Structures are given as structure tokens and as C-alpha cells.
Amino acid sequence: MESRPLPPPPQQNQPISLLGPTPADLESTSRMEKHLRDAGLYESPEELAAREDVLRDLRGIVDRWVKRLTAQRGYPDGMVSQATALVLPFGSYRLGFHGRGSDIDALVVGPSYVDRDHDFFGVLGGVLSEMTDDAVTELQPVPGAHVPVIKMRFRGVQVDLLYASVCLAVVPRDLDLRDRSVLRGMDLATVRSVNGVRVADEILRLVPDAGAFRTTLRCVKLWAKARGVYSNVMGFPGGVAWAILVAFVCQLYHNAAPSVLVSRFFKVLAPWKWPNPVKLRDIEHDDDELRLPVWDPRRNPRDRTHLMPVVTPAYPCMNSCYNVSHATLRTITQQLQIGNAVCQKIVASGGEWAVPLLRVDVKVAGGGGEGDLREWKGWVESRLRLLVMRVETATAGMLLCHPNPQAYAAKPTELQHTTSFFVDLSKPQPQEKEQQQPQVQFDLRETAEEFKREVYMYVSWRPGMEVEVSHNRRKDLPSYVLEQILPAGHLKRKRPQEDDEPSPSSSPASDD
């Protein structure tokens, strides 16, 4: 295949701001990164090494598979010795924001005489199924998928393996997939497979700061999964789409710190007027030779029906959110608006990502068991709305409460059973034209005592039933809460360092 020079890149988005981060932005980013690490969004060196071992072993299997096929088809020994196929990761691994437990998306690039249906799904699929020592489990070939794939768990890691053959008798180790000529002779399913790698590389080339992009994307991914809007199959944006959306905001704010980029992400996209497309650069139109379909609602009637166009940056440009429906778009928009409101509160509080909390501990001491705790907890839970009302009344509406409906139970002991509730505290975002009010501190100790007096009026109260109210930061959450909200297997949370904020006293003092 004759390599052609790469065409000049189409026009990229022009930045809105070139301002660099302030010391406060960097400090806020540091706090944000700590929360991401606490949430298990980064792999340990051991986990990263295990993932690299999986890719190395897969490359060995694929290399032997291609050499075997080359020999079986009567090619000379010299060609057999040169025969190989590339195994190229893409998705979150290639973009560099994969976390603990993430799967590996990988593309196998083979020579022209190795086909997808017989050789990849049939022969290689058979090799994988016959491996001993349970190296491969949950093997599931899906040849009829929109992007044909072999799904499996390889040495404990979930792997999605795709295939593409190129018009070359020998695949060079340094094959440049950015060159459009690699797409020659491919069907659409193969083009979609190859574009996993091409799109990831193009995103990284188009963002001004890859490190800031990755940190911001980790945060957005955590948020999207928590809010249930991260699934291409279910009609929400998938990993590629969220990466493009984050990269778009990075282009608009070239030098911003991740803590600022997260806020700008919601500020830009919450009011976005869909179906106006989000794209990282001008769309490259049809190649005179390749004639592959490109997303273009002016030419293609079907593209006009797309509700949320998030366009991939590599030729042939496609809408990564083609599955979005009216119902899922409404949910996405609502969640972006909620995220924007939360970020504005964080900005208003001086960039404090560790949102203050009221912690309500419900305890049954002595001989009381789980039955007594269930009864006592139900009563206290029914009274939480009174705590919310009292806080907002005592602060004249300058402090808002958002009770978390989930209760977190500590491991019971012979002496005590404990369950905790939490109430987020925040200050309302001032209107744009309102003058910024000076910071006000609130003493909530008397409010907490009034709440406790009301709770203890329970007609079935018995000795041993206790309730405590304290002021916490998220960084000071007890270990039994962290064990329930962090991913399984996450390392135990470290004790605060000497330069961290001191732990609050048992009584709620003030919100700052």
C-alpha cells in the first residue's frame, strides 16, 4: 500500500479563554484529585502491570495465530517468519483515564489474507476457547454486532477484541492508522473497528493539555456513572462521547485547571441547544477514492433525525450518540443542569469540593439488637425533615439542606448498633446581578439540640436508644461509610495528615 501524505488538519475550535490557573484553582484541583483517588478512579502500579501483562500475552497468542494461518496457506518460510498482527488498545486505556476494574478494548490488525469471519471468529476464537488453566473465561463471540467483537475475560481482565484486515501482505510494526489509505477496501463494520484507535489518537492530538483532559474526564465519568447516564447501549453517551464532550470544553478553555474545566463542562453543556452538533474540528467530507458515509444532516436524511450529535474527529466522522432518544436526551439534559447547579455552589463556596455535612448517628446501646435499631432508625429518619426545616429557618434560608436518603450501618458489636444519616449543607448561588454577600458563619449547636429533644419525645423510647448530631467534612467520613461507597477492594482510607483540616468536634459548630 502506497502511503500518502496526511492532509492538513481541518479547523479546530477557537478558545474562549487562554487564562491559566490561579493558586486557588490548583489547590481545588488537588482536592478534586484526592476525591477521585479515594473513589478508586486510579489503578495501583500492580494493577497497571497486570493489565500490561494481559496485552503482552494476547500479542503472543495473536502472533502465533497469524504465523500458523500464513504457513497453512502455503506462503514461503520467509513470509511466515515476518507474518504478524498488531494488538492496539483503544478506548479509556488508550486515552489514559482507565480506572480500577476497567476493561480493555483492543483492535487486532491483520494482513489482507486473514479474514474476520473464518479466521478471527472461527480460528482465533477456537484457540482462545481451548486455552488451559482457565486463562480465558466467559468467551462470547458476537460477529453480528454493529462492531463485531469477541468478548472474554482474559486472566481476570474483561477484554473486548475487534478485528480489521488491511490491504497489506505484511503488517508493519509501525503502521500509521492515521493515514486514510489504511481504510481502503474495508467494509463499514471494519472501518468502525479501526476508528476506535483513530478517534482516540485524534482526541489526544486535539486537546491542548492531555493531563488536564484526563483528570477532568475521570471526574465527568464518575459523575455520569453515578447519575445513570453512561451507557451507549441504553441510549446514553458512552465513553467515546463523554471523552469528546470533555475535549470540546478543554479546547474552549486552553489553560484551565481540571477543577475549573469540570465547572465549565456543566456551564457550557447544560444549556446546549441540541441538535446543534458538538465537534472538535470541521467535519472531513467524502474522500473521492474511499466514498465512506460521513455524518452530514444536509446530505443524509437519516442524520437529520439524530437528537444529540457528538461527532467523532477522525474520518469518516460519525455521531457517537446515534442511540440517544427523546427520553434519554431529556434525562441527560436534566442531569447536566443539576450538575451545573452543584458546580456553581462549589464555586460560590470558594472551590471547596469537600462539601460540609451534618451527620446524624442513630444508636442502640446495651442489650438492644437489630430489631430495636430498625425501629429507632425509622423514627429518627421520619424526623430528619424537621432538622432540615430548623437549619434553613435558623439561617434565614442562607444555608440549604439536602438529606441523603441512604442510611449507612456500622458493623454491630455486642455493646452497640449504629446507623448514620447525612445531610449536605450548601449556600444558595447568588443571582448574576446580585452583589456578592460576605461570608457568614452559622452556629448550629442549638438547632441540633432542639432536633434531638424532639426525637427523644418518641413514645416508645427506651434506655439505650441514642441520637447524635455532628458537623463533618466528606474527608472525615467514618470507615464503615467509605467501605459502602467506595469500589470493592479499595484500599483503606488513610488517616488525615497533620496539615489536613482538624476533625470537627462532636457538636455542629459552624459552616464555613
> Binding-site residues, please?
90-92, 103-105, 160, 221, 230, 239-240
Mean pLDDT across 156-168: 93
Rg value, the chain, Cα = 28
What would the pLDDT profile of 378-407 be if each residue is shown by its tens digit?
Answer: 899 888 888 888 888 888 877 777 777 678
**Residues 84, 110: contact at Cβ < 8 Å?**
no
Q: Which residues are catalytic, by number?
A: 92, 103, 105, 160, 221, 230
Instruction: Kindly report the CATH number assigned to the domain that includes residue 237.
Output: 1.10.1410.10
**In a shared domain, residues 49 and 192:** yes
DSSP for 206-268 reads: HSS-HHHHHHHHHHHHHHHHHTT---TTTTS--HHHHHHHHHHHHHHBTT--HHHHHHHHHHH
Determine, yes or no, domain membership for 417. yes
Cβ atoms of residues 232 and 323 within 8 Å: yes
pLDDT value at 317 more than 90? yes
Q: Length of the chain, please?
A: 512
Q: Tell whether the model's pLDDT for residue 377 goes beyond 70.
A: yes
More confident residue, 129 or 423: 129
Distance CA 297, CA 145 (A): 25
Residue 505 lies in a domain: no
pLDDT band for 351, please (50, 70, 90 cuts). low
Q: How far apart (Å, rounded) are the C-alpha atoms in residues 35 and 352? A: 12
pLDDT for residue 501: 33
Neighbours of 126 (CB within 10 A): 11
pLDDT over 60 (residue 409): yes
- Give the pLDDT of residue 493: 38
Read off the C-alpha cell for 470: 455532628
**Domain match, 278 and 178 both:** no
* Residue range 418-463, pLDDT digits in tens: 888 888 777 665 544 444 455 566 788 888 899 999 999 998 898 8
Check whether 346 has a pLDDT greater than 70.
no
> Residue 221 and residue 197: Cα distance in Å, rounded?
20
Question: Which of 349, 347, 343, 320 has its CA nearest to residue 265?
Answer: 343
Q: Would you say residue 315 lies in a domain? A: yes
Q: What does the pLDDT read at residue 338? A: 86
Range of the domain at 127: 44-196
Pairing of strands 149-154, 278-279: unpaired
In a domain, 420, yes or no: yes
Structural domain contains residue 362: yes
Q: What is the mean pLDDT of residues 304-312?
A: 96
Q: pLDDT tens, 167-198?
A: 999 999 999 998 888 998 899 999 999 999 99
Same domain, yes or no, for 292 and 349?
A: yes
Residue that terminates a domain, selected from 318, 353, 388: 353
Question: 133 — alpha (psi -120 to 50), left (phi > 0) or beta?
Answer: left
| Beta partners for residue 403, in sequence order | 423
Domain co-membership, 51 together with 27: no
Residue 488 clears pLDDT 80, i.e. is over it: no
16 and 135 inside one domain = no
pLDDT surpassing 70 at residue 348:
no
What CATH number is associated with residue 372? 3.30.70.590
286: part of which helix (H) or strand (E)?
none
Q: What count of other Cβ atoms lies within 10 Å of the Cβ of residue 475? A: 16
Least confident of 25-29, 39-43, 52-56, 125-129: 39-43
- Provide DSSP, 266-286: HHHHTT--TTSPEESBPPP--
Cell triple for 319: 455521531
Q: Do 131 and 142 belong together in one domain?
A: yes
Residue 512 counted as domain residue: no
Torsion angle of C-alpha atoms 10, 14, 15, 18, degrees rounded to 10: 90
Q: Locate all alpha helices (DSSP H) within 75-187, ordered by sequence.
A: 77-82, 91-95, 125-129
Same domain for 148 and 181, yes or no, is yes
pLDDT at 48 over 90: no
Whether 34 and 53 map to the same domain: the answer is no
151 and 169, same domain (yes or no): yes
Whole-angstrom distance, CA of residue 46 vs CA of residue 133: 22
Q: Output the known binding site for Mg(2+).
A: 103, 105, 160
Q: Do 215 and 343 lie in a common domain?
A: yes
How many CA within 13 A on the CB side of residue 400? 10
Mean pLDDT of the chain: 84
Structural domain includes residue 235: yes
Sorted by sequence, the CB contacts under 8 Å of residue 502 that are 6+ apart come out as none
Instruction: Count the Cβ atoms, other than its own, within 10 Å of residue 84.
Output: 20
Summarised one tens digit per residue, pLDDT across range 254-305 is 999 999 999 999 999 999 999 999 999 998 876 667 888 899 999 899 999 9
Mean pLDDT along residues 323-349: 84
Beta carbons of 386 and 439 less than 8 angstroms apart: no
The domain tally of the chain equals: 3
Q: Coil, strand or helix: which one is 500?
A: coil
Reported as a pLDDT band with limits 50, 70 and 90, residue 470 is: confident
State which of 300, 327, 353 marks the end of a domain.
353
Encoded amino acid at 249, one letter: V
Q: Please, which pLDDT band fits residue 497 given cuts at 50, 70 and 90?
A: very low
Q: Flag whether 2 is in a domain.
A: no
Q: What are the φ and ψ backbone dihedral angles of 466, each rounded to 5 degrees? A: -130, 155
Q: What is the pLDDT of residue 255?
A: 94
Annotated binding site for ATP: 90-92, 103-105, 160, 221, 230, 239-240
Tell me the β-bridge partners of 473: 356
What pLDDT score does 368 carry?
63
Q: Are 166 and 55 part of one and the same domain?
A: yes
Statement: residue 134 has pLDDT above 50: yes
Question: Among residues 318, 223, 317, 314, which one has the least CA distance to residue 261?
Answer: 223
Is 98 a residue whose pLDDT tops 90?
no
**CATH assignment at residue 53:** 3.30.460.10
What is residue 170's predicted lDDT score, i.e. its pLDDT?
A: 92
Percent of the chain with pLDDT over 90: 47
At 440 the pLDDT is 61
Q: Do 479 and 337 lie in a common domain?
A: no
Spatial distance between the Cα atoms of 173 and 150, rounded to a whole number of angstroms: 23
Strand partners, 152: 159
- Which of 196, 224, 245 marks a domain boundary? 196
